[in-house]
């Protein structure tokens, strides 16, 4: 089996469900048990046949009870984005490139030889040198902006301006040491400099999934965009669980060949119409459809507000506003009750309990669809919101010979820095194009793509889950690009559904409206701006 030149992925099963295969059978038998719960101790013999029958019939909820926690090391950001985080049924905690500097040498290197390997390694060296230099170039720009934020806040604090309880609400030391300031500034410089780092950069993470998801991983590991790495990592995950529970082998299906996937079949049968000209036409058409936005609202339910209001009345058993009875609940009153934190104090909670609230579930009936273009690194943040699914691309179909990337706002603040950034991107694409000219596959050449590479897709979400997403991503501590895209989306929702949009707010504002202290839940990570005092049109960020 072909291997990467770089260190092999390390996969360890850290925590495993006890007797998962017997549990599969026990849960199935409990469904038809007239004598109470069937425990795994009661499963003694002949259960393999029953398990196969259950599996073949598609009764797969029985597989979802068993969960497995893995640690993964030496896996690429490309693999994580393309495969591990491209679905809703997982949980991950991985090292952040925002806060941890990336070290040279920690990259996936595919099985290349000769000139191709030399070009690949030279390009990564160039990218890492540029990353280091960009951190240095951005540091003074970030520091000026950082000090401007906190000096303004400190002056107001000294003069006692604003609400009397501001300091109590924040619960953080106002004055920071020079060393601590420099450390925080460097983190913010790294956050933007990482746009230059290739998606081949290694990461390490905890990754927890249930048995059904693992079976799906294995069955469909031979798909775009990183099939070789997917086969290797998923194969090791399966080895680990079979070591813990050999009986899973009785129902485990072998992976489908790449040739069996619908994407591959389409590409194979349409080779004559899939050239660079068509790719560039698609990119131009997509970008034009955005109308200059990062994320454009392209669809929403016509009666979002009315439907949510009626759903609130249904939960409470109240008539509509057309009724003359005093115990009516108008649309305005119903929407305030479910969305306004001063009426619904659940939005002041640190724990997102809305999905369990009978009233808040009325928000699931309103929905919005956005067409968006953001960087690979911002989309890696965006896709963590698993309940706002998107149709992410077969990335090789979006990559042409021309550099195609996102430039963060901070880099635009200095012409020399922006020029250096552009030159690095040009050199990166030159390396990719030279690999392709040597016959290197798209799969392997794409590992050189920078985090900044543009990702185009359509994303939908219901209001219940979008509300939570915006509460997290409108925070000034959120990654700047996804913050900007979220702000773009909320502004458009306000245009079509003004009452709903009025309550799509960051956590500090929601907590302030719910009268919860401290207003900012970030403690020492306070951004330096009292966002809860700002209107949406006043939201501005560089860092």
User: What does the H/E/C string look like for 90-135?
Assistant: CEEEECCCCCCCCCCCCECCCCCCHHHHHHHHHHHHHHHHHHHHHH
**Judging by beta carbons within 10 Å of its beta carbon (0-12, 13-18, 19+), is residue 103 exposed, middle or buried?**
exposed
Q: Are 519 and 532 in contact (CB under 8 A)?
A: yes
Beta bridge partners of 63: none
Would you give the DSSP letter of residue 385? -
Mean pLDDT of the chain: 92
Q: Within 13 A of 128's CA, how many CA atoms are on the CB side?
A: 15
Angle at 70 between CA 69 and CA 75, to 5 degrees: 150
Structural domains for the chain? 10-105+201-269 (3.30.1360.170)
- Residue 150's pLDDT band, with cuts at 50, 70 and 90, is confident
What local confidence, expressed as pLDDT, does residue 339 receive? 98
- Residue 1's pLDDT band, with cuts at 50, 70 and 90, is low
State the Cα–Cα distance between residues 329 and 335, nearest whole angstrom: 10
3-state secondary structure of 463: helix
Tokens 């009978």: give the residue: 358
215-238 confidence digits (pLDDT tens)? 999 999 999 999 999 999 999 999
Q: Are 379 and 459 in contact (CB under 8 A)?
A: no
The pTM for the full model equals 0.93
Q: Is the pLDDT of residue 158 over 60?
A: no
Lowest mean per-residue pLDDT among 33-47, 203-217, 385-399: 33-47
Backbone dihedral region for residue 453 (phi beyond 0: left; psi -120 to 50: alpha; all else: beta)? beta
Average pLDDT over residues 435-443: 97
Q: Is the pLDDT of residue 395 over 80?
A: yes
CA-to-CA dists, residue 78 to 201, 238, 329, 427, angstroms: 8, 21, 50, 20
Q: Which residue has the higher pLDDT, 322 or 403?
A: 403
Q: Are 366 and 283 in contact (CB under 8 A)?
A: no
Rg of the chain (C-alpha set): 26
244-293 confidence digits (pLDDT tens)? 999 999 999 999 999 999 999 999 998 777 889 999 999 999 999 999 99
What local confidence, expressed as pLDDT, does residue 111 receive? 97
3-state secondary structure of 269: helix
């Amino acid at each position: 089996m072909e291997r990467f030149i770089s260190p092999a992925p390390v996969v360890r099963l850290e925590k495993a469900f006890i007797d998962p295969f017997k549990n599969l059978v026990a849960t199935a038998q409990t469904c038809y048990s007239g004598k109470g719960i069937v425990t795994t101790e009661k499963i003694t013999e002949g259960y393999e046949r029953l398990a196969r029958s259950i599996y073949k019939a598609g009764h797969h909820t029985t597989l979802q009870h068993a969960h497995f926690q893995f640690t993964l090391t030496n896996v690429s950001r490309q693999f994580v984005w393309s495969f591990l985080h491209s679905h809703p049924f997982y949980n991950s905690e991985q090292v952040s490139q925002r806060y941890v500097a990336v070290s040279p040498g920690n990259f996936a290197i595919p099985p290349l030889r000769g000139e191709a390997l030399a070009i690949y390694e030279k390009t990564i060296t160039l990218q890492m040198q540029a990353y280091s230099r960009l951190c240095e170039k951005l540091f003074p720009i970030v520091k000026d902006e950082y000090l401007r934020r906190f000096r303004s806040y400190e002056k107001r604090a000294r003069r006692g301006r604003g609400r009397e309880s501001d300091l109590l609400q924040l619960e953080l030391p106002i004055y920071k040491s020079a060393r601590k300031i420099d450390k925080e500034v460097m983190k913010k410089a790294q956050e933007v400099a990482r746009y230059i780092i290739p998606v081949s950069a290694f990461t390490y993470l905890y990754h927890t999934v249930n048995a059904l998801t693992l079976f799906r991983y294995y069955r469909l590991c031979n798909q775009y965009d990183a099939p070789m790495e997917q086969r290797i990592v998923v194969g090791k995950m399966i080895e680990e669980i079979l070591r813990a529970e050999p009986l899973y082998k009785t129902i485990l299906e072998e992976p489908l060949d790449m040739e069996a996937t619908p994407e591959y079949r389409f590409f194979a049968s349409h080779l004559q119409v899939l050239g660079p000209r068509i790719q560039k036409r698609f990119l131009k058409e997509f970008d034009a459809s955005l109308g200059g936005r990062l994320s454009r609202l392209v669809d929403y339910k016509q009666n979002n507000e009315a439907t949510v209001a009626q759903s609130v009345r249904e939960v409470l058993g109240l008539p509509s506003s057309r009724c003359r009875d005093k115990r009516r609940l108008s649309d305005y009153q119903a929407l305030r009750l479910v969305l306004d934190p001063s009426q619904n104090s659940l939005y002041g909670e640190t724990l997102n309990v809305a999905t369990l609230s009978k009233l808040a579930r009325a928000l699931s009936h309103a929905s919005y669809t956005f067409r968006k273009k953001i960087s690979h690194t911002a989309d890696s943040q965006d896709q963590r919101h698993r309940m706002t699914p998107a149709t992410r691309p077969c990335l090789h179909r979006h990559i042409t010979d021309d550099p195609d990337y996102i430039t963060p706002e901070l880099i635009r603040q200095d012409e020399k820095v922006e020029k250096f950034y552009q030159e690095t991107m040009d050199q990166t694409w030159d390396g990719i194009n030279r690999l392709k000219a040597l016959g290197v596959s798209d799969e392997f050449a794409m590992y050189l793509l920078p985090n900044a590479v543009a990702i185009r897709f359509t994303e939908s979400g219901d209001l219940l889950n979008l509300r939570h997403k915006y509460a997290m991503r409108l925070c000034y501590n959120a990654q700047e690009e996804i913050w900007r895209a979220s702000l773009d989306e909320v502004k458009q929702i306000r245009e079509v559904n003004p009452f709903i949009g009025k309550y799509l707010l960051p956590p500090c504002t929601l907590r302030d409206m719910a009268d919860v202290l401290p207003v900012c839940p970030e403690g020492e990570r306070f951004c330096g701006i009292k966002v809860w005092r700002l209107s949406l049109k006043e939201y501005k960020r560089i860092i």
